[in-house]
Amino acid sequence: MKRIALFFIALLLLSCKSTEEVNKQKAAERLAEARAKDIQWKVYVNKLEEEAKANRDIAKYAQLWTRFESFAPFCGNYNNIKDKISSKYQIKNYKEIKIPTRDGLKLDGWFIPVENAKATVIVLHGWGSDMDFGLSQSRFLLDLGYQLVLFNARFWNYYENPYEYVGDFGKDINDIEDTAAFIQSLKGVDKNKIGVIGFSKGARKAIVAGGLYPQLKFVIADASPTEAGYDNTEEELALDKEVDQYIAEHFNQTADNTQFDPINMIDKISPRSVLLLHGEKDTSVPVKCSQLLYDKALEPKVFKTFPKSGHCLGMMTSDKTDYIAAVKEFLSDIQY
């Protein structure tokens, strides 16, 4: 009888091991398939760019400017990052959220509460990025006593078929207002103490949203682009104008670089506070962008640069102490 019991136990263990191996094999196959699809997508984007430049094709430039942002839609989507909050960041107290938008999407997100939170901060990741990297940039705020709301920008909802996605900056801005409304129902969120922090394109969104939505009580923008901050040639400026016009006429959108340029919105944030941050070694967005935005902003406003930091990395470099201190000081002065 004992031998029979041992036999069945061994058989059960063998079966479990076999099932585990099968699952691992299936996961590996899915990953390989996703990587192959990502390569195809990257080839498509590169070809689109080559054709646009070779022929000064305005339609193809418009496709490029409104395309699915990431080069890894199939490997980088939420299904492949959702567990990182616990495995990578070792954060146990969090809530997965689905943020409803006015046009019917459900944006994947995380709510990370803090006991006796000083305020709630909406985190906006950069172009082609995701809320995983956004968390790596904003995690220090948890230690300062601020709870976080992070979400994947709407383009990630179209990862299964990135070829059909057409970006709309206006809808991205609407999503921020929808997020601010949604989180007011979360336990521990004070609707009178909600602010926003954004990085790169996320910083641009933060400024525009801050100018539009008074429910955002403060704005922190790290390396926001603005058209005036680039030393574009007359030919480049003309191309920008033509592409913007094409997007407005053919994609049923407002021309992106006019209404939604942050330099046209930043003065509307006042009397609420705005903090502009920029790494002096940034090769993606010129420091001049933040300087021009600061000059246009009204009080209360603060502008800090970090000599050893590149693009949106001040919190990770040797400037880390000064970067965090600047944010801490700014937030401590907020009058809600």
111-129 burial: b if 16+ Cβ within 10 Å, else e: bbbbeebbbbbbbbbbbbb
Task: Residue 151: count other Cβ atoms within 10 Å of its Cβ.
Answer: 27
Same domain as 148, residue 45: no
For the chain, the domain total comes to: 2
Output the pLDDT for position 4. 60
Find the radius of gyration of the CA atoms of the chain: 23
Please indicate, yes or no, if residue 70 is contained in any of the structural domains: no
Same domain as 309, residue 165: yes
Q: Cα angle vertex 284, ends 49, 301, to 5°? A: 135
Token pair 């070694």 in the structure block, residue: 281
Please indicate, yes or no, if residue 226 is contained in any of the structural domains: yes
136 contacts: CB under 8 Å, gap ≥ 6: 89, 316
> What does the DSSP 8-state code read for residue 280?
T
Here the CATH number for the domain that contains residue 277 is: 3.40.50.1820
243 contacts: CB under 8 Å, gap ≥ 6: 58, 61, 62, 65
Task: Answer whether the bond into residue 225 is a cis peptide, omega within 30°.
Answer: no
Please tell me the number of Cα atoms within 13 Å of 313 on its side-chain side.
14
Helix (H) or strand (E) holding 328: helix 320-332
Same domain as 250, residue 180: yes
Please indicate, yes or no, if residue 112 is contained in any of the structural domains: yes
Per-position pLDDT tens, the chain of length 336:
555 655 545 545 545 556 767 667 777 888 899 999 999 999 999 999 999 999 999 999 999 999 999 999 999 989 888 999 999 999 999 999 999 999 999 999 999 999 999 999 999 999 999 999 999 999 999 999 999 999 999 999 999 999 999 999 999 999 999 999 999 999 999 999 999 999 999 999 999 999 999 999 999 999 999 999 999 999 999 999 999 889 988 887 765 556 799 999 999 999 999 999 999 999 999 999 999 999 999 999 999 999 999 999 999 999 999 999 999 999 999 999
Q: What tokens appear for 276 in the block?
A: 């502009």
Residue 51 sits in which domain range?
A: 1-55
Same domain as 151, residue 115: yes
95 contacts: CB under 8 Å, gap ≥ 6: 110, 111, 112, 113, 186
